[in-house]
Amino acid sequence: MDIVESVQIIKALADSSRLTLIQALREPQCVEELAQRCNLAASTVCFHLGKLEKAGLVFKRKEQYYVVYALNEALFDKSLRELTSFRNAEHYIQEERLLRYREKVLKAFIRNGRVNRIPAQHKKRLIVMGEILRRFHPESVYKESEVDAIIGEVCNDYCTIRRAFVDEGMMVRDGDKYRVVKSTLITPALRVNGRKEQSRTTKMKTKQDIKREYKERKIPAGIFQVKNSVNGKVLLGSSLNLEGPLNSHKFMLKIGLHRNETLQKEWNEYGPEKFVFEILEIVKVKDDPNFNLSDELTLLEQIWLEKLQPFGERGYNIDTHIRQA
């Protein structure tokens, strides 16, 4: 059995009024008879019968002037084991996860019907663009000014979105004319990790793909230190890109031009082998549209400042604001 069918059946049964109706339907009956027997209003009986019929638990047939409802005996003969044995459980769970993720992204980036900002992450940007694309009719051809006007109803930066539609293959352009590529009108959440992404891996990467991947690559952000192993003093630093500052500090100390005079002096006195360059902690990136890497780094920075107190005799830091480029 398909998991969607099973869910629909179980949901339909999870109501006391519907269970009462099923009990009464051991023999076919019309709405008026069911209402009287179950002490329910006719409109209530019709509503619940509609739910049961949609789940395939009951069916109706015409008998003279009446519509009679009866149980789908074949379905009631199924065991609980059969109802909970699924053909496509993994696909269903994946689809549900993607749909929840899509809703989360749209809630974060679209407020009061307008895009508050265009996501920097490619996957999230595709979802927002897919939502905007729904405003275009797949059979219509639009002038550039018309495209801008429609996008402008929900997003101020209509030029960026219009160009991105073409770059991502969501629209094709012929001079001043634009039209939607029909295959892009599938659920945006499924496009993110579905056909669109698969098609990207089967073709050679363009310069634009490489540039985008470079911008979105996972560069660790976190806290680092330069430690003097002789006296235990440290220079504490934080950066959104840990690849750069440690090398920069090491290079400037080697050529004798480090801006921290005390650190440079002791480097010259004790020698390079007495100094350790190390990463203390990396910020854990959360898969949350509201996650702010800079804010998380600032919080982590304050924790390490409190812990190490790298000032005066204990360190080389002068200012409590230690963020490095």
Q: What is the pLDDT of residue 199?
A: 39
Q: What is the pLDDT of residue 192?
A: 41
Verify that 45 and 125 share a domain, yes or no: no
CA–CA separation, 186 vs 191, rounded Å?
7
Is 268 within a domain? yes
Verify that 184 and 243 share a domain, yes or no: no
Q: Provide the number of structural domains found in the chain.
A: 3
Contact 253, 263 (CB under 8 A): yes
Ordered DSSP codes for 206-258: PHHHHHHHHHHS----EEEEEEETTT--EEEEEES-TTTHHHHHHHHHHTT--
Verify that 251 and 292 share a domain, yes or no: yes
pLDDT in tens, the chain (325 residues): 677 788 888 899 999 999 999 999 988 999 999 999 999 999 999 999 999 999 999 999 988 888 899 999 888 888 888 877 766 656 666 777 888 888 889 998 998 889 998 988 888 999 999 999 999 988 899 999 999 999 999 999 999 999 999 988 899 999 889 999 876 554 444 444 444 444 343 345 565 665 555 555 567 889 999 999 999 999 999 998 887 888 889 989 999 999 999 999 999 999 999 999 999 999 987 766 677 888 888 889 989 999 999 999 999 998 654 444 4
Q: What is the pLDDT of residue 216?
A: 57
Is 19 within a domain? yes
Q: What is the pLDDT of residue 220?
A: 84
Is 249 within a domain? yes
Is 264 within a domain? yes
Q: What is the pLDDT of residue 145?
A: 93
Contact 263, 274 (CB under 8 A): no
Is 262 within a domain? yes
Q: What is the pLDDT of residue 200?
A: 40
Q: Which structural domain, as residue segments, surrounds residue 25? A: 3-83
At which of 25, 50, 83 does a domain end? 83
